Structure 1
Amino acid sequence: MITSKQRSFLRGLANSIEPIFQVGKGGINEAFLKQVEDALEAREIIKLKVLNNSDFTAREASDNICEAIDCEGIQAIGSKFVLYKKSKNKSKIELPK
């Protein structure tokens, strides 16, 4: 679990990144989750976008993905949301205490 101070720090980092995945009509399946998990391992923080034809809102998609792959939902605004998961191998982001 991360603190509100750490969440704020991560939101600041997420401002400058572009969404790298889209949740669409196909929804959230095992292959999609594997791609998201691999991207989180490599980058630690990613932004995703929910398309208009999706059955999910950004918050619902964030909650479903976080529950499935054990990551942190940092922010959900409009159709975009940000996820964070500390890398197992090499951590790039140093969170404030």
Structure 2
Amino acid sequence: MKLTGSQIRQLRSMCNQLKPTVSIGKAGVEAVVASTEEDLEAHELVKCTVQGTSGLDAREAADALAELTGATVVQVIGHKFSIYRETSRKDVEKIKLR
């Protein structure tokens, strides 16, 4: 999904309030794909953190996880990053992008 500049700014502002729910450690990105899929379906916007033991920097981990889950990287700052994917569930309130 391709996001516009204003949509990315909107999602970035929403990321400030989030706490990381996915932590990537030495097991790598592949170990957290299933839990990230569940979080994306439930919340659409997910904040992740990369531990020093993973051997990846945040940009590499963000790109890899986004590719594996079909999400879009919203922001990468330090050891944290956020990804977004619209949910297919009907019972979840969707983020209204501008």
TM-score range, shorter chain: over 0.9
Shift of 1:53: 1.1
What residue in structure 2 maps to residue 23 of structure 1? 24
What residue in structure 1 maps to residue 94 of structure 2? Answer: 92
Structure 2 residue 60 is matched with structure 1 residue 60: yes
| TM-score, with structure 2 as normaliser | 0.92
Cα distance in 2 for residues equivalent to 1:80 and 1:38: 19
What is residue 6 of structure 2 aligned with on the other side?
Answer: 5
CA distance in 2, matches of 1:14, 1:28: 20
Specify every segment of 5 or more residues in structure 1 that has no aligned partner in the other structure, as ranges.
none
Per-residue CA distance 1:12-46 (angstroms, 9 max, x = gap): 000011001111111012x5201101100000001
- Residue of structure 2 in register with 1:38 after alignment: 38
| Unaligned residue ranges in structure 2 (runs of 5+) | none
CA distance in 2, matches of 1:4, 1:92: 19
- Structure 1 segments of 4 or more deviating over 4 A? none
1:51-71: CA deviation from partner (whole Å, max 9, x where unpaired): 111111111000001111110
Matched pairs, number: 95
d(CA) in 1 for partners of 2:72, 2:84: 5
Aligned partners of 2:66 and 2:21: how far apart in 1?
A: 17
Q: Percent identity?
A: 36
Length-normalised TM-score, structure 1: 0.93
Q: Structure 2 CA distance, aligned partners of 1:93 and 1:77?
A: 22
For residues 22 and 89 of structure 2, the distance between their equivalents in structure 1, rounded to whole angstroms, comes to 23
Deviation at 1:3, TM superposition (A): 0.5
